[in-house]
Amino acid sequence: MTYGSVSDEQPIVRLQQLSKVIGRRTIIDGLTLDIPRAEVLGFLGPNGSGKTTTIRMMVGLMKMTKGDVLIEGHSIREDYEQAIRHVGAIVENPEMYKYLTGFQNLLHFSRMVPGITTQRIDEVIQLVGLKDRIHDKVKTYSLGMRQRLGVAQAIMHKPSLLILDEPTNGLDPAGIRELRDYLRKLAKEEGIAVFVSSHLLSEMELMCDRVAIIQSGRLIDVRTIQTGAQLAEESGPVLFEVDRPDDAVALLAKHEAARMDEGALVRADRDTVARINAELVGAGINVYGIRVLNKSLEDQFLEMTGGNPIV
pTM of model > 0.75? no
Tell me what pLDDT residue 228 has.
44
Q: Ranked by mean pLDDT, which of 89-98, 168-177, 243-252 comes out on top?
A: 243-252
Please state the φ and ψ torsions of residue 284, each to the nearest 5 degrees: 80, 15
Q: Where are the domains positioned within the chain?
A: 13-225, 229-292
Tell me what pLDDT residue 49 has.
86
| Percent of the chain topping pLDDT 70 | 87
| pLDDT of 233 strictly over 80 | no
Q: Ranked by mean pLDDT, which of 153-162, 177-186, 236-245, 299-308 comes out on top?
A: 153-162
Tell me what pLDDT residue 122 has.
93
Tell me what pLDDT residue 261 has.
81
- CA 209, chain centre distance (Å): 6
Give the closest residue to 209 by CA, choosing from 95, 22, 41, 15: 41
pLDDT confidence bin for 310, thresholds 50/70/90: low
pLDDT in tens, 39-64: 999 998 877 889 999 999 999 999 99
Q: Are 256 and 230 in contact, with CB atoms under 8 Å apart?
A: no
Q: 183-221 as b/e, with b when 16 or more CB fall inside 10 Å?
A: bbebbeebebbbbbbbbbbebbbebbbbbbbbbbbbbeb
Quote the CA–CA distance of 86 and 74 in Å, as a whole number. 9
The residue type found at 5 is S
Tell me what percent of the chain is helix, strand and coil, each rounded to the nearest 5.
35, 30, 35
Tell me what pLDDT residue 100 has.
96
* CATH match of 13-225 with 3.40.50.300: yes
pLDDT in tens, 67-120: 999 999 999 999 999 999 999 998 766 788 999 999 999 999 999 888 899 999
Q: How far is CA 299 from CA 168, 293, 295, 302, in A?
A: 21, 12, 6, 5
Helix axes 118-127, 173-190, angle to 10 degrees: 130
Fold annotation for 229-292: Alpha-Beta Plaits (3.30.70)
Which uninterrupted H or E stretch holds 75? strand 74-75
